[in-house]
Amino acid sequence: MIALALSGCASDPGPPRTARQALYGLGERAAEATLAAPVWRVPEGERVLLLAPTEVDAALSIEPEQFGETLTRALLAVDAGPQVLDWMPDRATRDVPDNQWLLESRLIAEGPALTLSDRRLLPYRLELALRRPGNDEPRWQQTLTGALDASAL
């Protein structure tokens, strides 16, 4: 009986079964990259991220709110991570504390789907940018690439 239970734990988990699982790893990678950006001048516990609405290419069949929630959860899951506000200041706003940064994200389809024997993969490019509110020029940018399992979306 114990051997049977242990063999079930060691089995291959297979492809992600839900969109949350499929996007979870991408959200974690995005959070790690954002928090490792060299622009931070305040201690980890004092950082505040203002999240701009996420842009998602329709070809990926992902709702922008769905990826935005995944990114927010990944940022909040970091030990001593930032405060995360789903709020974007007016473009003219310039008087914000030094610890507040605007995070912009764009998830773009990067070519046609790749068909494998057991699943389809959707190549993507995730563009991240940090900028100061009221300033149109990003102070940091990062691009992450990969492929999402279409069967989990």
Which domain range does residue 92 map to?
A: 29-37+45-152
User: The domain that contains 86 carries what CATH number?
Assistant: 3.40.50.10610
Taking the C-alpha atoms of residue 38 and residue 53, their distance in angstroms, rounded to an integer, is 23
pLDDT at 94: 66
pLDDT of residue 1: 43
What pLDDT sits at residue 117? 84
| 11 is a domain residue | no
Does residue 22 belong to any structural domain of this protein?
Answer: no
| pLDDT on residue 18 | 53
The torsion of the CA quartet 115, 118, 119, 123, rounded to 10 degrees, works out to -50
pLDDT tens for the 153 residues of the chain, in order = 444 443 444 444 444 445 556 788 899 999 999 999 999 888 888 999 999 999 999 999 899 999 999 999 999 999 888 999 987 776 656 678 888 999 999 999 999 989 888 888 999 999 999 999 888 899 999 999 999 988 765
Instruction: Quote the number of domains for the chain.
Output: 1
Residue 49 is predicted with a pLDDT of 95
Structural domain includes residue 55: yes
pTM score of the predicted model: 0.81
